[in-house]
């Protein structure tokens, strides 16, 4: 008998365009089996049928596969490298930057980029394209309202300058919003934007299989201008960057050759 999870992944692919086979299987299957059991379904067939009837179940499922955890200036030391090394290197070549924050979740990462640039490189013009597969996350990103917890790594001075506080919630100011275009993009299926100076893609590649990661690295490399940079998450170093026409610039930063 074919593993019924295989049938389920095929159904999900045709319904949502998401290929679960490109995510690490053991991890994904464990997460989904536990969610399915929690909702009282003993097999994936009945779970999928129920999802077709009830949008709440479908949304919960999408939430479970996407894992939207994020925060401002996540891994702060890397943001210092971005400020002191990467942006100055880019500034030598251009005065207008095209930046892509890929798998941006609820927006903390692209807004952090806009804050850093506004604060430290006011002479630089920039446009940030921020994408994610998850429309719910993108909706929150567009709203731009955050708890104190997600701003914990951000210096107080910046919090006061770039946010409006109301009842303990922080709304991003228009000066940040107007620099960011949010849109849906599936890293495993859609075509990639071109001529990027900087691609930030952090804490999503860990969920993908090795062949899927390889394809993504090739695509990122093709998206970058010569001398552009790829910034990855703190568990996502690329062991053979030259296979993708990139060189290690600093830990978790790669320069397109
Ligand atoms: C843990 S968050 C990372 C957020 C942010 N980059 C950070 O490091 O704080 C992972 C994000 O990857 C997104 N994601 C998962 N699969 C994706 C895919 N195939 N294409 C684009 N985004 C995807 C999820 O929706 C989620 O918002």
pTM of the model: 0.95
Candidate from 149, 204, 205 with most ligand 1 atoms within 8 A of CB, to mutate: 204
pLDDT score at 2: 59
- Nearest atom in ligand 1 to 105's CA: 27
Cβ neighbourhood burial of 166 (10 Å; 0-12, 13-18, 19+): exposed
E strands present in the chain: 96-102, 125-132, 145-147, 163-166, 169-172, 180-184, 196-201, 224-232, 246-250, 253-256
pLDDT score at 1: 45
pLDDT score at 59: 92
The β-bridge relationship of strands 125-132 and 180-184 is parallel
pLDDT beneath 70, residues of the chain: 1-2
Sole residue written with tokens 């770039």: 162
- Between CA 221 and CA 75 the distance in angstroms is 24
The β-bridge relationship of strands 163-166 and 169-172 is antiparallel
CB distance 216 to ligand 1 below 6 Å = no
- Nearest atom in ligand 1 to 108's CA: 9
- Between CA 120 and CA 185 the distance in angstroms is 29
Q: What is the pLDDT of residues 169-224, one digit of tens each?
A: 999 999 999 999 999 999 999 999 999 999 999 999 999 999 999 999 999 999 99
pLDDT score at 3: 81
């Amino acid at each position: 008998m074919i593993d019924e999870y295989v049938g389920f992944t095929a159904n999900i692919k045709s319904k949502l365009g998401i290929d679960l086979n490109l995510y690490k299987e053991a991890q994904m299957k464990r997460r989904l089996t536990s969610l399915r059991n929690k909702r009282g379904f003993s097999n994936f067939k009945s779970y999928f049928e129920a999802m077709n009837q009830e949008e709440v179940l479908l949304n919960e499922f999408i939430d479970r596969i996407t894992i939207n955890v994020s925060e401002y200036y996540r891994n702060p030391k890397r943001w210092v490298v971005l400020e002191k090394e990467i942006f100055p290197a880019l500034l030598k070549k251009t005065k207008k930057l095209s930046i892509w924050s890929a798998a941006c979740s609820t927006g903390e990462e692209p807004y952090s980029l806009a804050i850093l640039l506004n604060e430290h490189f006011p002479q630089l013009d920039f446009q940030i394209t921020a994408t994610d597969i998850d429309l719910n996350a993108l909706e929150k990103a567009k709203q731009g309202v955050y708890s104190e917890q997600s701003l914990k790594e951000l210096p107080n001075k910046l919090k006061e300058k770039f946010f409006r506080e109301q009842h303990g919630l922080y709304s991003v100011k228009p000066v940040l919003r107007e620099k960011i275009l949010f849109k849906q993009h599936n890293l495993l299926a859609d075509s990639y934007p071109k001529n990027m100076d900087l691609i930030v893609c952090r804490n999503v590649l860990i969920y993908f299989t090795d062949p899927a990661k390889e394809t993504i690295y090739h695509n990122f490399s093709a998206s970058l201008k010569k001398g552009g940079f790829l910034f990855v998450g703190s568990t996502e170093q690329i062991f053979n960057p030259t296979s993708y026409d990139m060189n290690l610039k600093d830990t978790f930063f790669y320069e397109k050759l």
